[in-house]
Amino acid sequence: MSDEICSVNLIHEDIVKEVAKKMPDEIELSNLADFFKVFSDSTRVKILWALYESEMCVCDIAALLNMSGSSISHQLRTLKQNKFVKNRRDGKVVYYSLIDEHISFILKQGLIHISRS
């Protein structure tokens, strides 16, 4: 028998009830899953890390990642729609930065987690 599956059919009702009370609703869990999907693309993660280090414009990010400006713009649009980044205009240049410290915290914690493996 596998170590990953219970060998008896026993439900600990008290635990199930307690956890059920604390579970977010379906919409919140779906939104959380969508949030983490943004991290599933390595280009987006690279962009987020770059913006963790410094506010940057599309041209700077494209040069850093050796990619086209249109590819970076496409990814930034996704990041902005999902509330990961914000932008500000300075004359003809648009600068991007992380929307808040939560995103940088998640990046740092993710890196710590994978480094311990």
Could you tell me if residue 6 is inside a domain?
no
Confidence of residue 2 (pLDDT cuts 50, 70, 90): low
Could you tell me if residue 7 is inside a domain?
no
Could you tell me if residue 53 is inside a domain?
yes
Could you tell me if residue 5 is inside a domain?
no
10: tokens are: 């026993």
pLDDT digit string, tens, across residues 28-46:
999 999 999 999 999 999 9
Query: What percent of the chain has pLDDT above 70?
Result: 97
**Dist CA 26 CA 28 (whole Å):** 6
Domain, as residue range, for 62 = 13-115
Cβ neighbour number for residue 83 with a 10 Å cutoff: 13
Could you tell me if residue 49 is inside a domain?
yes
Which DSSP state fits 40?
A: G
Could you tell me if residue 1 is inside a domain?
no
Mean model confidence pLDDT for the chain? 94
Say which CATH number the domain at 43 has. 1.10.10.10
Number of structural domains in the chain = 1
Could you tell me if residue 43 is inside a domain?
yes
CB 80 within 8 A of CB 62: no
